[in-house]
Amino acid sequence: MTFHPSLPTPKTPKLSRRTFFVTSAAAGGLVLGVRLPQSEAAAATDEGSEFNAFVQVMPDNRVSIVVPGVEIGQGVYTTLPKIVAEEMDANWDLVEVRLATANPAYGNPAKEGRQATGGSDATRGYYDVLRKSGAAAKEMLVRAAAAKLKVDAAELSVDRGIILHRKSDRALSFGDVADAASRLVPLEEPALKDRSSFKLLGKVVPRKDTPAKVDGSAEFGADVALEGKLFAALRTSPVYGGEIVSDNRDALLSNPGVVAITNVDGGIAVIADTFWQAKKAAELLDVEWDFKGGDSLNSHDMWEEMRASLTDEARPFFGTKGDAPATIESATKVFEADYEVPFLAHACMEPMASTAMVTDTTCQMWSPHQQQDRAREEAAKITGLPLKDVQLQNTFAGGGFGRKWEPDFARQSVQAAMAVTGRPVSLIWTREQDVQHDFYRAAYVARIKAALDDDGNLIAMHSRLAGESILQFQNRPKNFPDPTSVSGAIGGSYAIPNTLIDYVEYKPVVPVGFWRGVSSSQNGFFSESAMDELAYFAGKDPYEFRRNLVVDKPRELAVLNKVAEMAGWGRELPAGRGLGIAFCPGFGSVNAQVAEVDISGGDLEVVKIWCAYDCGFALDPSNVVHQMESGITYALSAALFGEITLKDGVVEQSNFHDYDVMRLANMPEIEVELIESEEIVGGVGEAAVPAAAPAVANAIFAATGQRLRRLPLPTSGYGTA
């Protein structure tokens, strides 16, 4: 099997010559799939016949499918092409996958036509588009076969890339008719298969990226093999926003291998023949910085300010029901508690890396970026080139989690390449730079108030948050509190008659950005910790308490019931052990988890986590399970170890020795069970994150009687209840 992780010379579809599925979006006209008109059609060539932006069929029956989103480990390199192959009835063994270039043809409908991957919407966004692209290609192939066989197209069937005419016992392969088929005009609304006839979707198939990632041939941001490639290393301000006053760069230009030294966003890039030469020279730079007052920033002061701001004026979030403050004020059973979560780094296994080459007339990029179109647009701004002369080829990304949504590292690679025009430059961050110059998950404090009636039923809940707003930091206009900060602060599936979420936006002082799970990453901990406390306050079992709040929602109820059954909820446990439950629907899916912990030796051991999950139709059940395991692992890393602190404006953590993650030695067993429903396809990549931390914290309470309202959770110093 030939593998095409990326293209050495990006090939951008020429949209001015193409037509096919066209629909509108908020951002304007959105080309969902494209095709050459007959007069300009790509006949069978060495590259095969092109049917639309996503599909090529080769003369030897191979089918090449473009994955429009970025592969950050979530499996879209397999799942998205599988959608096309399903509708084509292609032979999966002969399907090859290519990563896309940045191009409007690959816009994500879920992102208003932007070519971006995030929010667990790659599969949800592209599902219908890719089905139509595959179905249209199949219909064209069948029509061409019918003409060649001189039969009615309705008499033909397709199986694994073979077009069959059973009446005459004749058959043609896709390759036999690809040239003729590619010249036909496609149907705008081709017939789609019924789910009951799916042969690939819903089944486990081998991932297409596994072989290359095992043998090392997969190309990541810094891996692209280009003739004459140079490497760039950074020297950045230790304090966010610092500016260069002076430096000794001229004295270092004679160092071994050093080719150029240039300013980039946030600091200086040293460009050399090897990364080691660039890094050593960057370390020798003697830079005087103007920190612009940022060196006065300290975590202790920020926490005090955020806590105090909870009494400031807050703006309500949409979705308010009833009058929660008045109901709480008049109730006899009132609950109130404050919760806190710290800044978090993304800690991708692959630090930021991007490759670029700039000439007088072109800019080419090879980048693992979650916003391909934005990275391309930023490059056009920096170089001053027309957008049409800027190309970006996706590469594999060694993790993203929202960090590779930001344009900073891609911009820096272009700025570095401009200093050595005509030669490609791979800019690579060190792990220390990655941890200390992140766009962090913001720190938040939350004050949750609630009221119970005389029977212990939850009748009102008010959640107030304070912390930095991602959209405010990005200077994006809005007329309501930032949903990426406050959504999920009260579980939307719960039947609570009076609810209010409001928000105090803390001044933007630290770079913040999207983190895996987005707002639910903190609000799942806040809301489900409070829900557990409310259950005990009401004198009710935590599972039954939640169950009664979703009793009229069959999908949610089924997930809660399943996870309780999996964990054996209610069973007797030895001293020092406890079970905790959390329920966090989101991203179009429903997720519940139970954690079992053991603190009998004084140290915290997360023994096992059970996860019940309903994402509607699981396009690849194995990949969904893997993403649940991945999300839980990522969440546990943050829940037990994750905390970014600042002293005199400098991030104190720098690498995995002081910003730890889950390791084999402390990983719990994870058991996942999928519940298939008739719902539309739901998100997977982020959905498992929110429930893990509250499930563990609630389990600690069950084992110790101690409520923990701040993350990260202590890993030692426990006694039994």
SS3 58: coil
> What was the pLDDT predicted at 720?
67
Asked whether the beta carbons of 720 and 575 are under 8 A apart, the reply is: yes
Write out the H or E segment, with its range, that includes residue 177: helix 174-182
Structure tokens at 217: 């041939």
Structure tokens at 116: 């971006």
Q: How many CB atoms lie within 10 A of CB 67?
A: 26
Residue with token string 């030695």 = 665
> What was the pLDDT predicted at 44?
36
Q: What is the pLDDT of residues 637-649, one digit of tens each?
A: 999 999 999 999 9
Separation between Cα atoms, residue 118 and residue 495, nearest integer Å: 29
- What DSSP assignment string belongs to 657-701? TTS----GGGPPEEEEEE---SSPPPP-TTTTHHHHHHHHHHHHH
Q: Is the pTM of this model over 0.85?
A: yes
Separation between Cα atoms, residue 720 and residue 706, nearest integer Å: 9
Asked whether the beta carbons of 190 and 139 are under 8 A apart, the reply is: yes
- What DSSP assignment string belongs to 47-88? T-EE-SSSEEE-TTS-EEEEE-S--SSSSHHHHHHHHHHHHH
Asked whether the beta carbons of 672 and 625 are under 8 A apart, the reply is: yes
Asked whether the beta carbons of 676 and 614 are under 8 A apart, the reply is: yes
Q: What is the pLDDT of residues 278-292, one digit of tens each?
A: 999 999 999 999 999
Which domains does the chain possess?
A: 15-214 (3.30.365.10), 230-291+352-428 (3.30.365.10), 300-343+440-704 (3.30.365.10)
SS3 327: helix
C-alpha pair distances (Å), 222 with each of 8, 360, 404, 561, 612: 13, 23, 14, 46, 38
- Regions of the chain with pLDDT less than 70: 1-47, 479, 720-721
Among residues 463, 459, 462, 505, the alpha carbon closest in space to that of 482 is found at 505
Distance of CA 470 to the CA centre of its chain: 16
Asked whether the beta carbons of 612 and 559 are under 8 A apart, the reply is: yes
SS3 554: helix
Among residues 242, 229, 233, 240, the alpha carbon closest in space to that of 268 is found at 233
> What was the pLDDT predicted at 32?
27
Q: In sequence order, what E strands does 516-586 have?
A: 577-583
Q: How many CB atoms lie within 10 A of CB 481?
A: 24
Separation between Cα atoms, residue 579 and residue 573, nearest integer Å: 9
Separation between Cα atoms, residue 283 and residue 603, nearest integer Å: 40
